[in-house]
Amino acid sequence: ESLGKEEKNSGQKIANGFTPTVSVGTTDLHSMLQLYLAGPKETFTQFVFVNENNKTALHNSKILGKLDDNFVGKTPDEISRVIFESVKKSYTDKNLPFAEITFEKLKEREIGAYMAFKMVETVMLGALWNIDVFNQPNVEEYKERARKILEK
Protein backbone atom coordinates (compact mmCIF):
# COMPACT_ATOMS: atom_id res chain seq x y z
CA GLU A 1 0.00 0.00 0.00
CA SER A 2 1.20 3.49 -0.75
CA LEU A 3 0.00 7.06 -0.42
CA GLY A 4 2.59 8.35 -2.89
CA LYS A 5 0.57 9.12 -6.02
CA GLU A 6 0.71 11.31 -9.09
CA GLU A 7 -3.03 11.39 -9.65
CA LYS A 8 -6.35 10.92 -7.92
CA ASN A 9 -8.83 8.22 -8.87
CA SER A 10 -10.56 10.88 -10.99
CA GLY A 11 -7.39 11.35 -13.06
CA GLN A 12 -6.65 14.77 -11.57
CA LYS A 13 -2.88 15.31 -11.38
CA ILE A 14 -1.44 15.69 -7.88
CA ALA A 15 1.83 15.25 -6.04
CA ASN A 16 0.75 13.41 -2.93
CA GLY A 17 2.21 11.30 -0.17
CA PHE A 18 4.16 10.95 3.03
CA THR A 19 7.83 10.26 3.47
CA PRO A 20 7.97 7.81 6.36
CA THR A 21 11.12 7.82 8.43
CA VAL A 22 12.11 6.07 11.62
CA SER A 23 14.04 7.72 14.41
CA VAL A 24 15.04 5.63 17.40
CA GLY A 25 15.43 7.18 20.82
CA THR A 26 18.46 9.24 21.68
CA THR A 27 20.37 7.62 18.81
CA ASP A 28 18.61 9.92 16.33
CA LEU A 29 17.74 12.89 18.54
CA HIS A 30 20.81 14.92 17.69
CA SER A 31 20.42 14.81 13.91
CA MET A 32 16.74 14.24 13.23
CA LEU A 33 15.18 16.17 16.11
CA GLN A 34 17.19 19.24 15.15
CA LEU A 35 15.65 19.02 11.68
CA TYR A 36 12.13 18.41 12.99
CA LEU A 37 12.27 21.31 15.45
CA ALA A 38 14.14 23.90 13.40
CA GLY A 39 13.70 22.80 9.79
CA PRO A 40 10.73 23.05 7.42
CA LYS A 41 7.39 22.74 9.19
CA GLU A 42 6.22 19.83 7.03
CA THR A 43 6.60 16.94 9.43
CA PHE A 44 3.96 15.03 11.36
CA THR A 45 5.45 12.78 14.02
CA GLN A 46 3.96 9.68 15.53
CA PHE A 47 5.72 8.82 18.75
CA VAL A 48 5.71 5.16 19.76
CA PHE A 49 6.76 4.53 23.33
CA VAL A 50 7.11 1.23 25.17
CA ASN A 51 6.90 0.99 28.95
CA GLU A 52 9.55 -1.65 29.47
CA ASN A 53 9.10 -1.91 33.26
CA ASN A 54 12.84 -2.23 33.79
CA LYS A 55 13.15 -1.51 37.50
CA THR A 56 16.93 -1.92 37.75
CA ALA A 57 18.53 1.32 38.86
CA LEU A 58 21.77 2.39 37.21
CA HIS A 59 24.97 2.75 39.22
CA ASN A 60 28.63 3.33 38.47
CA SER A 61 30.25 0.04 37.56
CA LYS A 62 33.10 -1.53 35.65
CA ILE A 63 30.72 -2.18 32.74
CA LEU A 64 29.01 1.22 32.61
CA GLY A 65 31.90 3.23 33.98
CA LYS A 66 31.25 6.50 35.80
CA LEU A 67 27.78 7.75 34.98
CA ASP A 68 26.59 11.31 34.94
CA ASP A 69 25.28 12.07 38.44
CA ASN A 70 21.81 12.72 36.96
CA PHE A 71 21.55 9.06 35.91
CA VAL A 72 22.82 7.34 39.07
CA GLY A 73 19.99 5.62 40.94
CA LYS A 74 17.48 6.00 38.11
CA THR A 75 16.14 3.20 35.93
CA PRO A 76 16.52 3.18 32.15
CA ASP A 77 12.71 3.49 32.01
CA GLU A 78 12.75 6.64 34.11
CA ILE A 79 15.42 8.20 31.91
CA SER A 80 13.61 7.19 28.70
CA ARG A 81 10.32 8.61 29.99
CA VAL A 82 11.94 11.95 30.93
CA ILE A 83 13.56 12.22 27.50
CA PHE A 84 10.28 11.28 25.79
CA GLU A 85 8.26 13.84 27.75
CA SER A 86 10.91 16.51 27.11
CA VAL A 87 10.82 15.88 23.35
CA LYS A 88 7.01 16.10 23.34
CA LYS A 89 7.20 19.38 25.28
CA SER A 90 9.60 20.75 22.64
CA TYR A 91 7.08 19.80 19.95
CA THR A 92 4.27 21.46 21.89
CA ASP A 93 6.30 24.64 22.44
CA LYS A 94 6.98 24.83 18.68
CA ASN A 95 3.34 24.02 17.79
CA LEU A 96 4.43 20.93 15.86
CA PRO A 97 1.84 18.24 15.25
CA PHE A 98 2.29 14.78 16.74
CA ALA A 99 0.40 11.74 17.91
CA GLU A 100 1.45 9.32 20.61
CA ILE A 101 1.01 5.59 21.03
CA THR A 102 2.23 3.95 24.23
CA PHE A 103 2.54 0.20 24.62
CA GLU A 104 2.48 -1.26 28.11
CA LYS A 105 4.31 -4.28 26.74
CA LEU A 106 5.62 -5.17 23.33
CA LYS A 107 4.56 -8.65 22.35
CA GLU A 108 3.39 -10.20 19.08
CA ARG A 109 -0.25 -9.25 19.73
CA GLU A 110 0.56 -5.57 20.24
CA ILE A 111 2.83 -5.45 17.20
CA GLY A 112 0.17 -7.10 15.04
CA ALA A 113 -2.54 -4.74 16.29
CA TYR A 114 -0.32 -1.74 15.59
CA MET A 115 0.47 -2.97 12.08
CA ALA A 116 -3.24 -3.54 11.40
CA PHE A 117 -4.00 -0.04 12.69
CA LYS A 118 -1.42 1.51 10.34
CA MET A 119 -2.81 -0.48 7.38
CA VAL A 120 -6.35 0.75 8.12
CA GLU A 121 -4.99 4.27 8.54
CA THR A 122 -3.40 4.08 5.08
CA VAL A 123 -6.62 2.83 3.47
CA MET A 124 -8.67 5.54 5.21
CA LEU A 125 -6.28 8.29 4.13
CA GLY A 126 -6.49 6.96 0.58
CA ALA A 127 -10.27 7.16 0.73
CA LEU A 128 -10.14 10.72 2.09
CA TRP A 129 -7.69 11.79 -0.61
CA ASN A 130 -9.53 9.85 -3.34
CA ILE A 131 -6.49 7.79 -4.32
CA ASP A 132 -5.95 4.06 -4.86
CA VAL A 133 -3.52 2.96 -2.18
CA PHE A 134 -3.18 -0.52 -3.68
CA ASN A 135 -1.77 0.34 -7.10
CA GLN A 136 1.86 1.27 -7.54
CA PRO A 137 2.35 2.08 -11.23
CA ASN A 138 5.69 3.79 -10.69
CA VAL A 139 7.09 0.72 -8.95
CA GLU A 140 6.15 -1.30 -12.03
CA GLU A 141 8.42 0.96 -14.14
CA TYR A 142 11.61 -0.21 -12.46
CA LYS A 143 10.43 -3.83 -12.42
CA GLU A 144 9.86 -3.74 -16.18
CA ARG A 145 13.31 -2.19 -16.76
CA ALA A 146 14.92 -4.89 -14.61
CA ARG A 147 13.07 -7.66 -16.49
CA LYS A 148 14.27 -6.32 -19.84
CA ILE A 149 17.87 -6.13 -18.68
CA LEU A 150 17.74 -9.62 -17.18
CA GLU A 151 16.26 -11.09 -20.40
CA LYS A 152 19.45 -10.23 -22.30
52 compared with 89, residue with greater pLDDT: 89
pLDDT confidence bin for 2, thresholds 50/70/90: confident
Topology (CATH) of 5-151: Rossmann fold (3.40.50)
pLDDT of residue 63: 83
User: How far apart, in Å, are the Cα atoms of 114 and each of 32, 106, 109, 128?
Assistant: 23, 10, 9, 21
Task: State pTM to two decimals.
Answer: 0.78
Residues 74-114 pLDDT 10s: 888 888 889 999 999 999 999 999 999 999 888 999 999 99
Residues 115-148 pLDDT 10s: 999 999 999 999 999 999 999 888 889 999 999 9
Across the chain, mean pLDDT equals 90
pLDDT of residue 126: 95
pLDDT of residue 68: 83
Q: Where are the alpha helices (DSSP H) in 10-107?
A: 25-28, 34-38, 76-93
pLDDT confidence bin for 14, thresholds 50/70/90: very high
